[in-house]
Each structure stands twice: as structure tokens, then as C-alpha cells.
Structure 1
Amino acid sequence: MDICKCISINQSKVDEAKIKLEKNSSLDQTAKFFKILGDGTRFKIITILLDSEMCVCDIATTLNMTHSSISHQLKILRENRVLKNRKDGKIVYYSLNDNHVKNIILQGLEHHNH
């Protein structure tokens, strides 16, 4: 177990870290974003949408889940700007909101595969 056994504090480093935390007002939103990605079902949905858009029926069939459970997860992802949607008649298609999300997922997958 890694335990710091010293009682010496580098005050300048502590002050710098505190300033960094205070300046970054988006820390809580970023943490929420990663929490959203931490759900297995939502992560699978995002992964299958990396390269193309899909409708609820296709996503539900791919994941062998009900439409209502997929719709619930899609709503969470859409509300948190991870996904966007577009309507074509009665069908709603979902895709990643932007390439930032795609890059984060691809980097995470690459990190795990190394």
C-alpha cells in the first residue's frame, strides 16, 4: 500500500493545485460526463454508434434489450449532449453528438487493448 509517511507540505504546489481547481469551472460537468460513460449499457450504445447512426429498434435488437430500456438510456445520453438525434418520418436516428465523444471512446478502447 502506498502511504505518504512524510508530514512535509509543499505549500506552493498545494496553492497551485487549489488555483487550478478553482479556475476550472467545468470539473463537475466533466466528472458527470465520465459517470455517464461508466454505465455498461450506455457505453455499448455509444460504441455501436461510433461509425453510423441507428434507430431505437436497431439498437435494441443489437443489444438484445427492450425498446423502452434503450429509449431511457438514449434520453440520458441525449440530455447530456453525448448523442444527437434526427427524425426521418416516424423514425428517429441517433448518432454521436461530435467527434470529441468518438475520440474519447476510441482512446479508451486503445488504452485497454495495450
Structure 2
Amino acid sequence: MNIPKDEELYRLADLFKIFGNPTRIRILSALKTHELCVCDIADLLGMTQSAISHQLRILKQMQLVKFRRDGKTVYYSLADDHVYTILSQGMEHINE
């Protein structure tokens, strides 16, 4: 049996904790199709820009989103296909 090392298990547990927050799931879902700025995400989700920025900071720290600057505007998108796959498979699983 191949059990991951403790450090890997803790990192994986931390990753899944991020998905335990509905607001972060909503943000990631909004970013599934295209990149958005904080103001667009806030409008889309009916939340304040401050609340969105706070959650995006956490998502960036966990390397689930990436960003790019265009002048003063910062655009966010999913970090890679793995994030998209985690979201898609999670939704598929709960809808079976």
C-alpha cells in the first residue's frame, strides 16, 4: 500500500479546506470560462470588492488562481486545468 507522506497529506488537506467555503467555490466557478477582474466578480456574485479580494488572496496563496495586470486592472483566472477538473468532478459527483 502506498500511503503519502505526512507533509503531502497535510498539504492535500489544506487544499480541500479551500474548497470547503461556498464563496470561494462561487469565485472559482465564475472563473471557469474566462478571466475576470475583482469588480466583475463582485457584480456577478452580488458581493463587495473587498470580500472578493480577501477570498482571491487565499485562492492565490493556494495557487488555485493566477492573475495578470493590464494597467491598473488586475484580471484573475484559474491557475491551471487541475482546478477546473477538481471543480467539474466535484459537481459531477454531487449530481450523480
Structure 2, unaligned stretches of length 5 or more? none
2:14 to 26, 29, 32: 32
- Corresponding residue SS for 1:70: helix
Q: Matched residue pairs, number?
A: 96
- Find the aligned partners of 1:49 and 1:20 in 2 and give their Cα distance: 33
Identity %: 50
1:44-55 paired onto structure 2 within 5 Å: 44-55=26-37
1:68 to 50, 53, 56: 50
Show CA shifts across 1:25-75 (max 9, x none).
311111101101110100100011111100000000011111101000000
What TM-score results when the alignment is normalised by the length of structure 1? Answer: 0.79
- Find the aligned partners of 2:3 and 2:15 in 1 and give their Cα distance: 20
1:82-93 paired onto structure 2 within 5 Å: 82-93=64-75
- Find the aligned partners of 1:38 and 1:101 in 2 and give their Cα distance: 14
Tell me which of the two structures has the higher relative contact order, counting C-alpha pairs closer than 8 angstroms and 6 or more residues apart: 2
Q: Which letter maps to 1:20?
A: I
Larger radius of gyration: 1
Alignment RMSD: 1.3
Structure 1, unaligned stretches of length 5 or more? 1-15
Which runs of at least 4 in structure 1 moved beyond 6 Å after TM superposition? none
Shift of 1:113: 1.3
- Find the aligned partners of 1:89 and 1:78 in 2 and give their Cα distance: 20
